[in-house]
Amino acid sequence: MRIAIPLTEGKLSEHFGHCRQFAVVDVDSVGKSILKKELLDPPGHEPGVLPKWLSEIQVNLIIAGGMGQRAQQLFEQSGVSVLIGAPSESPEEIVEAYLNGTLVAGENICDH
């Protein structure tokens, strides 16, 4: 499984569209472990670009703080599941909590 997390200053970016980097984490969902983490610079932020890019690099799930409804729909159409309302923590902490079933997702802080 491959998980993408939008980052600002090394932690989950609360506003998805404003992130400067993505942590792309390969995980063993059965063994509940992180296999590899890469930090990637995204292409320009235009509608539909990020879902296409993340789909092309085989991301299965994006974990974000806030994301607009249209962006969520574009990700789902590209075959990338979306989990929103995650806390602003390091990618490793977020992925480990997700794998262990302890990730507490709050409200979507994005209203557009």
| pLDDT, average across residues 86-99 | 95
- State which fold the 2-99 domain adopts: Nucleotidyltransferase; domain 5 (3.30.420)
Is the pLDDT reported for residue 66 higher than 90?
A: no
Supply the DSSP symbol for 16: G
CA–CA dist 57, 84 (Å, integer) = 20
The full set of domain ranges for the chain reads 2-99
Strand 33-40 versus strand 21-28 pairing type: antiparallel
What is the model's pLDDT at position 109?
57
Percent of the chain at pLDDT > 70 equals: 95
CA–CA dist 6, 91 (Å, integer) = 9
Strand 2-8 versus strand 81-83 pairing type: unpaired
56 half-sphere exposure, CB direction, 13 A CA radius: 8
Closest CA to 42 of 61, 16, 63: 16
User: What pTM does this model have?
Assistant: 0.91
In which band, very low, low, confident or very high, does the pLDDT at 62 lie, cut at 50, 70 and 90?
very high
What is the model's pLDDT at position 16?
77
Angle at 103 between CA 65 and CA 84, to 5 degrees: 25
What is the model's pLDDT at position 26?
98
